[in-house]
Structure 1
Amino acid sequence: MGFPGTWMTESESMVYRVVPKCACSTIGQIMYYSDHGKFFDGDIHDAQDGLHKWARDESQPLIRDNVRTHSSYAFTCVRNPYTRILSSFFDKICGIQRNGKRYRGKLVPLLIQKYGIEVGGDDGKQEFDQIQSFRRFLLFARDTIRWRRPMEPDIHWSAMSGHVSTFIANGGTYDRIFWTEQFNDGMQEVLNATDTPHKVDLDAIPRFNESEGHGPKRAHPVEDYFDDLSMHLVYEIYHRDFNLFKYDFEDPSNKMPTGEIDLDEVHAKLGE
């Protein structure tokens, strides 16, 4: 199976397992800058050179050899499951993507028809009942993850532990897993532990939020979107994420982690 979703700097200073909706655009740009002294001009997900990616055939042997011998510092980044699934809804379901079209073509019409979701009209800018539509989307996300119907689960709302686990199951070892909610602290630890061709000043790095502006703005506090049933669904889908990455399931308004991530526990439970 290899190491899907894994990026590595060309200097092999660091290896990163991408977890969608967890600051991956910013992390990718920092990696690119640390090698080249400049940012990639465009969305880093589109970069075909300057950064090794498992999706590029020529990068695969280099990534495989590096990860299996643990030659470089390996890390990933996670996010509160409540805010992550909300972000996926507003970006991927309600938003117009950077190609000017809806995400995955027929996905949104399917959701409108089968689940009664509203998305803010053709341009995503009209008023609609965000809470009602989000809760219906949550049912759809659960159906895709639990029963793989009406489609396979999408990487943007499948569990973070699933993304993180493929790296471990195929022979990788993480040196660090940090939280988007404490991004600078976590990314600084990665940079302190690596020797990069170009020094990175995190305070001067812009945030590359490629999904920002795609969809409508969230109109309510996070906790308003999650009633008792929604919280039950979220726990059904993401219970491993809450437990392994130390987030507070009981309080959707608390996006901050409640304890330290135990890397030994992560490797043991996700490497099974």
Structure 2
Amino acid sequence: MGFPGTWMTESESMVYRVVPKCACSTIGQIMYYSDHGRFFDGDIHDAKGGMHKWAFDSSQGKISNNVQNHTSYSFTCVRNPYTRILSSFFDKICGIQRNGSRYRGNLVPTLIYNYGIEVGGDDGKGEFDQVASFRRFLLFARDTIRWRRPMDPDIHWSAMSGHVSTFIVNGGRYDRIFWTEKFSDGMQRVLDNLDTPHAVSLSEIPRFNESEGHGPKRAHPVEDYFDDLSMHLVYEIYKQDFELFRYDFENPANKMPIGEIDLDEVHAKLGD
């Protein structure tokens, strides 16, 4: 299986396991800048060079050797499950993607037909009942994760613990896992452990939110989207994410973590 979703700087100063919807665009650009002294011109997910990615055949051997020997500092970043699934809905389901099309072709028409959701019209900008449509999308997300129907779960709403675990199961070990909600502090602690070709000053790094503007703006506070049933579904899908990464399941309004991540616990529970 190897190390899917893993990026590494060409200088091998750091190794990062991508978790979708968790500041991955900004982290990727920081990695690119630390090697080249400039940002990649475009979405870092589209970069075909300038860094190692598991998706590149030519990178797989170098990534495997590095990770299995723990040669470089390895890390990842996680996010509150409530805000992450909401972000996935507005970006991937309601939004028009950077190629000008809907995400995954016939996915949205299927959702409209089978689950009765609305997405804000052809351009994703129209008025619609965001709360009702999101809750129906949540049923769909649960169906894909629990029963793998009507399709396999998408990386943008599958559990973070699943992404994080592949790195561990195949022989990797994280030096740090930090929270999107405390990004500057977490990323700085990573940088403090690195020797990079180009120094990175986090205060001068823009945030690369590549999904921003794809879809409609969220019209309500986070907690308004989650009634008792929705919270039950979220817990069914993301129970391990809440527990391992110390997020508050009881209060969707609280996006901040409520404890410290125990790396030994993460490795023990996700390494089976």
Name the TM-score, length of structure 2 as normaliser. 1.00
Partner of 1:229: 229
Partner of 1:66: 66
Pairing 1:35–2:35 present: yes
Structure 2: how far apart are the matches of 1:81 and 1:92?
A: 16
Superposition map of 1:10-89 within 5 A: 10-89=10-89
Structure 1: how far apart are the matches of 2:95 and 2:234?
A: 22
Structure 2: how far apart are the matches of 1:80 and 1:229?
A: 18
Partner of 2:201: 201
Q: Which runs of 4+ in 1 moved over 2 A?
A: none
Structure 1: how far apart are the matches of 2:82 and 2:242?
A: 10
Structure 1: how far apart are the matches of 2:27 and 2:164?
A: 16
How far has the Cα of 1:217 moved from its partner?
Answer: 0.0
Superposition map of 1:141-220 within 5 A: 141-220=141-220
Cα offsets for 1:239-261 (capped at 9, x unmatched) = 00000000000000000000000
Structure 2: how far apart are the matches of 1:41 and 1:190?
A: 24
Give unmatched runs, 5+ long, in structure 2.
Answer: none
Cα offsets for 1:56-111 (capped at 9, x unmatched) = 00000000000000000000000000000000000000000000000000000000
Cα offsets for 1:208-255 (capped at 9, x unmatched) = 000000000000000000000000000000000000000000000000
Amino acid in structure 2 at the alignment position of 1:97: Q
Structure 2: how far apart are the matches of 1:51 and 1:130?
A: 38
Structure 1: how far apart are the matches of 2:211 and 2:199?
A: 27
Structure 1: how far apart are the matches of 2:199 and 2:125?
A: 41
Structure 2: how far apart are the matches of 1:42 and 1:74?
A: 25
Amino acid in structure 2 at the alignment position of 1:214: H
Partner of 1:268: 268
Structure 2: how far apart are the matches of 1:179 and 1:268?
A: 20
Q: What is the aligned residue count?
A: 272
How far has the Cα of 1:163 moved from its partner?
Answer: 0.1
Partner of 1:257: 257
Partner of 2:101: 101
Amino acid in structure 2 at the alignment position of 1:88: S
Partner of 2:246: 246
What is the DSSP-based 3-state SS (H/G/I as helix, E as strand, rest coil) of the residue aligned with 1:177?
strand
Structure 1: how far apart are the matches of 2:214 and 2:162?
A: 26
Partner of 2:132: 132
> Once superposed, what is the RMSD of the aligned Cα atoms?
0.2
Structure 2: how far apart are the matches of 1:36 and 1:189?
A: 21
Identical amino acids, percent of aligned pairs: 84
What is the DSSP-based 3-state SS (H/G/I as helix, E as strand, rest coil) of the residue aligned with 2:178?
strand
Structure 2: how far apart are the matches of 1:126 and 1:42?
A: 28
How far has the Cα of 1:15 moved from its partner?
Answer: 0.1
Name the TM-score, length of structure 1 as normaliser. 1.00
Cα offsets for 1:157-204 (capped at 9, x unmatched) = 000000000000000000000000000000000000010000001000
Structure 2: how far apart are the matches of 1:103 and 1:170?
A: 30
Structure 2: how far apart are the matches of 1:7 and 1:99?
A: 23
What is the DSSP-based 3-state SS (H/G/I as helix, E as strand, rest coil) of the residue aligned with 1:62?
helix
Amino acid in structure 1 at the alignment position of 2:14: M
Amino acid in structure 1 at the alignment position of 2:47: A
How far has the Cα of 1:153 moved from its partner?
Answer: 0.2
Amino acid in structure 2 at the alignment position of 1:124: G
Structure 1: how far apart are the matches of 2:161 and 2:261?
A: 13
